[in-house]
């Protein structure tokens, strides 16, 4: 899971002062929830669309890049949308001091929505309702009177403005695998296969590791593998365990071209909207179909093959809960169904404000759990949402017995992250004061990386290197936030979003730097300014991804 790498650095590398097994089961319209979350570990997002969009055309989910400058103060992108869809836009500043302007414009030149601040260095248009089928324009620039400039990335997203996951259904999918005598959920050939053989029953599986959501957009592609004349499949929302009973919403479609919404409750299945014919424009395709649902408070909108097929209002289950997929059967001979789910995509709302987010000087809950810290940062508008789990390790360490060099440990080989919160409780033990412990991230190779370090003299450093160029970011200063004594523990929190880098040590904001956004691996390090015997221990290491 992690490995050590010895690397001798040049003297100018850093600055120093001296220099239950499942939620999903066979259920006769009544269900049991047994949830077990083991390790928060999810592969990086992989876009549905592998090719870059041509010219200035936006493709859903696939980001595009641009640059605003005096020579090009405005850029425009276009996309096609259908009446009834809900779309969002997210613009992340990746370099420079750009004060961004983001507008959604219709074919007649009317500004339908203007972006609001969604987190550090980002703006978003969230959950814009498309009322007519047409070509729309996204106008990107800088606020009036501003001379700011910089690079950006832009996303067109279905539903909400933060892409939680775009899952290709590989072995690391957050949707759980399990098996029972008459039902199973497992990954096979790049798809999640959910199968059931029983009369008038349904079964489901959920993405427990993603957490609980109230407002959410969920879509997936579905292919029928095994069935007779009748089948049902659909999406699960707001799943909760109450004792030995699971409660949740299900929005389903069937082989007759109908849709229905139900709530599975303690006392049985409640029909909220019974089987209703879908529009003829939402016809069932022979091989593969897509299904999606947008949950907004007590309103639920169902889509089939990108066509809005129905909308329901219900407040039976108002709280956030798990999301998942489901299949259902009728009676023999239609008591068998196996469906393959692919391209599982989830977007959630980002908190929007009229003013740019200001990083709090002090975190009130800095010594709390990761969830408590994340909640405070969301409330402050610093991060777009709770993100998605990257990894969590109880302990790791790096030893260094060299002189004037740095030794690294790589965490989670093969995984790269661009935007993140990276945290650890760091303990040092050394026979010298001229040492530092470090968190390195966005590492592409030995000449392209970002690193934060802090030492026993009470100093901290922030540095970003890109090839042979001068450092993009370089900072060193002393702070009283660091506990300098040997064997002391310091809680370090790195927030890297776009071109902004925040460093908190023991709850105090010590650095607010501008860097360049890239994607790379995650490392830990022990740094000797001179010959010493040094141990850097890293406890409660965790990472949240905002890729």
Tell me, what DSSP letter sits at residue 280? G
The overall average pLDDT reported for the chain is: 87
Q: CA dist 185 to 61, 206, 218, 406, 522, Å? A: 27, 10, 19, 46, 32
Give the distance between the most distant pair of CA atoms in the chain. Answer: 80
**31-45+168-348 matches 2-19+358-545 in CATH topology:** yes
Task: Convert the pLDDT of each residue in 65-84 to its tens digit.
Answer: 999 999 999 999 999 999 99
Q: Is the dihedral of CA 116, 493, 443, 474 positive or negative?
A: positive
Q: With 80 as the cut, is the pLDDT of residue 50 above it?
A: no
What average pLDDT does range 363-374 have in this prediction?
A: 94
Output the six-digit token pair for 372: 């408590």
Question: Does position 290 have pLDDT exceeding 60, yes or no?
Answer: yes
State how far the Cα of 17 lies from the Cα of 461, in Å rounded to an integer: 10
Of 523, 440, 438, 538, the residue nearest 489 (C-alpha):
538
Fold exhibited by the domain 2-19+358-545:
Jelly Rolls (2.60.120)
pLDDT higher than threshold 90 for residue 365: yes
Tens of pLDDT, residue by residue over 439-490, are 999 999 989 999 999 999 999 999 999 887 778 888 999 999 999 999 999 9
Q: Which fold has domain 64-162?
A: Jelly Rolls (2.60.120)
Torsion of the alpha carbons at 215, 220, 225 and 230, rounded to the nearest 10: 50
Which CATH number is correct for 31-45+168-348, 3.90.45.10, 2.30.40.10, 2.60.120.560, 2.40.50.140?
2.60.120.560
Q: Where are the domains of the chain?
A: 2-19+358-545, 31-45+168-348, 64-162
Q: Enumerate residues 6+ apart whose C-beta is below 8 A from 470.
A: none
pLDDT for residue 54: 56
pLDDT at 35: 27
Distance CA 277, CA 253 (A): 10
Identify the three-state secondary structure at position 181. coil
Q: Where are the alpha helices (DSSP H) in 348-439?
A: 370-379
- Rounded to whole angstroms, the Cα distance separating 509 from 315 reads 41
As given in the structure block, the two tokens for residue 387 are 């993100």
Question: Which tokens in the block code for residue 34?
Answer: 């047994």
Residue 278 has pLDDT above 80, yes or no: yes
pLDDT of 10 higher than 80: no
pLDDT at position 244, please?
A: 79
Cα distances (Å, whole numbers) of residue 447 to 300, 444, 451, 465, 468? 49, 8, 12, 6, 7
pLDDT for 518 beyond 50: yes
pLDDT score, position 160: 96
More confident residue, 390 or 219: 219
- Separation CA 403–CA 526 (nearest Å): 12
Q: What is the pLDDT of residue 358?
A: 87
CA distance 532 to 537: 16
pLDDT at 385: 77
d(CA 440, CA 438): 6
- Expressed in percent and rounded to 5, the helix, strand and coil fractions of the chain are 5, 55, 40
Handedness of CA 67, 72, 73, 77 (dihedral sign): negative
For 406-441, the pLDDT digits (tens) are 999 999 888 899 999 999 999 999 999 999 999 999
- Tokens, residue 164: 């939680």
For 120-160, write each residue's pLDDT tens digit: 889 999 999 999 999 999 999 998 778 899 999 999 999 99
Q: How many CA atoms lie within 13 A of 256 on its CB side?
A: 9
pLDDT above 70 as % of the chain: 90
Q: What are phi and psi of 370, to 5 degrees?
A: -60, -40
pLDDT at 351: 85
The owner of tokens 């949740």 is: 248
Angle (CA) 532-537-542 rounded to 5° is: 145
Task: Answer yes or no: is pLDDT of 512 > 70.
Answer: yes
Given a cut of 60, whether residue 3 has pLDDT beyond it is no
pLDDT surpasses 60 at 171? yes
Q: What is the mean pLDDT of residues 313-328?
A: 96
pLDDT of 8 reads: 38
Q: Which pLDDT band holds residue 44 (cuts at 50, 70, 90)?
A: very low
**Mean pLDDT value across residues 84-94:** 94
pTM for the structure as a whole: 0.84
Which residues touch 93 (CB under 8 Å, ≥6 apart)?
100, 121, 122, 150, 151, 152, 498, 499, 500
Locate 235 and state its tokens. 């999406």
Neighbours of 336 (CB within 10 A): 18
Using CB atoms within 10 A of its CB, is residue 421 exposed (0-12), middle (13-18) or buried (19+)? Answer: buried
């Amino acid at each position: 899971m992690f490995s050590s790498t010895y690397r001798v650095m040049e003297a100018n590398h850093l600055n120093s002062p001296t220099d239950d097994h499942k939620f999903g089961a066979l259920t006769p319209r009544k269900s049991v929830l047994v949830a077990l979350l083991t390790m928060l570990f999810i592969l990086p997002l992989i876009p549905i669309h592998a090719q870059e969009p041509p010219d200035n055309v936006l493709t859903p989910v696939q980001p595009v890049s641009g640059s605003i400058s005096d020579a090009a103060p405005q850029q425009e992108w276009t996309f096609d949308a259908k009446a009834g869809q809900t779309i969002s836009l997210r613009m992340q500043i990746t370099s420079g001091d750009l004060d961004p302007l983001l507008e959604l414009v219709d074919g007649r030149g009317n500004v339908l929505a203007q972006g609001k601040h969604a987190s550090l260095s980002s703006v978003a248009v969230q959950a814009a309702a498309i009322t007519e089928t047409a070509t729309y324009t996204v106008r990107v620039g800088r606020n009036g009177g501003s001379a700011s400039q910089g690079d950006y990335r832009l996303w067109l997203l279905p539903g909400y403005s933060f892409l939680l996951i775009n899952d290709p259904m590989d072995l690391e999918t957050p949707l759980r695998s399990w098996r029972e005598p008459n039902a199973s959920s497992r990954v096979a050939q790049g798809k999640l296969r959910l199968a059931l053989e029983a009369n008038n029953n349904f079964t489901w599986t959920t993405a427990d590791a993603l957490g609980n959501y109230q407002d959410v957009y969920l879509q997936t592609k579905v292919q029928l593998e095994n069935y007779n004349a009748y089948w049902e499949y659909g999406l699960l929302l707001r799943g909760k365990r109450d004792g030995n009973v699971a409660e949740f919403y299900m929005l389903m479609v069937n082989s007759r071209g109908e849709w229905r919404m139900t709530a599975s409750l303690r006392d049985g299945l409640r029909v909220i909207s019974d089987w209703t014919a879908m529009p003829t424009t939402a016809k069932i395709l022979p091989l593969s179909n897509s299904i999606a649902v947008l949950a907004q408070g007590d309103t639920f909108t169902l889509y089939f093959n990108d066509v809005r097929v129905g909308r329901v209002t219900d407040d039976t289950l108002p709280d956030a809960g798990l999301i998942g997929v489901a299949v259902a059967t009728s009676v023999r001979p239609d008591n068998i169904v196996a469906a393959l789910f692919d391209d599982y995509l989830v977007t959630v709302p980002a908190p929007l404000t009229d003013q740019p987010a200001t990083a709090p000087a002090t975190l009130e809950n800095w010594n709390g759990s990761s969830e408590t810290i994340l909640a405070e940062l969301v409330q402050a508008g610093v991060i777009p949402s709770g993100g998605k789990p990257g990894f969590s390790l109880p302990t790791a360490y790096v030893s260094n017995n060299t002189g004037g060099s740095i030794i690294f440990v790589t965490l989670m080989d093969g995984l790269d992250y661009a935007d993140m919160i990276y945290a650890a409780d760091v303990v040092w033990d050394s026979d010298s004061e001229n040492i530092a412990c470090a968190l390195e991230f966005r590492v592409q190779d030995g000449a392209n990386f970002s690193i934060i370090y802090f030492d026993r003299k009470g100093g901290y450093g922030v540095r970003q290197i890109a090839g042979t160029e001068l450092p993009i970011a370089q900072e060193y200063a002393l702070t009283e936030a660091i506990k300098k004594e040997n064997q002391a523990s310091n809680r370090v929190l790195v927030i890297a979003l776009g071109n902004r880098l925040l460093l908190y040590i023991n709850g105090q904001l010590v650095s607010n730097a501008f860097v360049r956004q890239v994607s790379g691996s995650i490392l830990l390090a022990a740094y000797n300014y001179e010959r010493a015997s040094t141990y850097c221990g890293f406890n409660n290491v965790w990472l949240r991804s905002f890729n």
